[in-house]
Structure 1
Amino acid sequence: MSVEEIPQGADVNVIPKNEKKARELIKKLNLKQIKGISRVTFKQKGNLIYAIDAPDVYRSAAGTYVVFGEAKVDDMNKRIAEAQAQQAQQEALQKAAADAATADKSPEDITADLEKATLEENKEEEADDEEGEVDASGLDEKDIDIIIEQTQVSRAKAVKALRKHDGDMVNAIMDLS
């Protein structure tokens, strides 16, 4: 029976030929299967995680593990950004509810709110200025990429820091950290 002949929605586990051979060899090596493991993760530099859901895990007497399953890339930076965005949205909803509850404000409170709003608009304008096209002539693209990766800043900030420190990556990274 080929993969095309399997009805859609059927609960069938198709094991590739090479994986089947590996499993047979593991049985010959007297590896013990460990039950009850629902997820195995491998962390790589840069918060990149490879996750295997519902794996088959085998352990040798020496403590070596063999893991079978489909590995999927799980980017923690993306997850953290999504969680922060969701938290900010919840805080905004709570603030809106609190503002609606206290509709009558004193003149001092209104002035403070206007100043705060003006500061936030200025920050957004500065962020917009930084996101535009950046002249990176005279700088190495690899250096810019390394600074962006290490400090998690925008390309514009990385180029600005490199120019400030005359192309010295170490000082630019220290300045942005």
Structure 2
Amino acid sequence: MSIEEIPQGSDVNVIPKNEKKARELIKKLNLKQIKGISRVTFKQRGNLIYAIDQPDVYRSAAGTYVVFGEAKVDDMNQRIAEAQQQQAQQEALQKAAADAKSTSDDKSPESITADLEKASIQDNKKDEEEDEGEIDESGLDPKDIEIVVEQTQVSRAKAVKALKAHDGDMVNAIMDLQ
């Protein structure tokens, strides 16, 4: 019976010729088969692992082992990355569920901090909308305005407003904006 004649789904173990010879030699060496081992792994540098599922394991009297089976490369770095990704997804789901459960009456520090952040973002948007109008830069040096904008990381309109409030004094304008 050839390999092509074996029906699919049948539980047949085809042993290559070299493996058959090795098994016969093992019997001559009086190695004892160890039953009940479901997986054997060999670790190499760089977290590279060779895994043999459902192996045939033999042990000598001296304590050495002979393992038969199909070795597959098992990359631990990839497994770790997948586990971290799954953990991050679970944490995100838990956080989303916790956010859905929390109500507006929640007095926890996290909810208070979140409310304050939302309020500050809305205030910043209002300030930016106010600053978008025409800017009256008369009486101010454009270089001074650029220096204030560069040092404080604010909009040009805020820099002009601060310079006018301090009569063109750059140092006080910068201190006021920070």
Unaligned runs of 5+ in 1: 116-177
Q: How far 1:114 moved relative to its partner?
A: 8.7
Specify the alignment match of 1:45 in structure 2.
45
Where in structure 1 do 4 or more consecutive aligned residues deviate above 2 Å? 105-115
Aligned-pair identity (%): 83
Which one-letter code corresponds to 2:62 in the other structure?
A: A
In 2, the alpha carbon distance for the partners of 1:113 and 1:72 equals 52
SS of the equivalent of 1:26 reads helix
Q: 1:102 to 1:16 in 2, by over 3 A?
A: same
- Structure 2 partner of 1:136: none
Partner of 1:77: 77
**TM-score between the two structures when normalised by the length of structure 1:** 0.61
Distance in 1 (alpha carbons) for counterparts of 2:112 and 2:26 = 76
Partner of residue 101, structure 2: 101
Which residue is 1:110 aligned to? 115
Bigger Rg, structure 1 or 2: 2
Shift of 1:8: 0.6
Within-5 A mapping of 1:119-138? none
Give the 3-state SS of the residue equivalent to 1:46 in structure 2: coil
CA RMSD of aligned residues (A): 1.9
The normalised TM-score by structure 2 is 0.60
State the number of aligned residues.
115
Displacement, 1:103?
3.6
Residues 68-95 of structure 1 show CA distances to partners (whole Å, capped at 9, x for unaligned) of: 0000111111111111111111111110
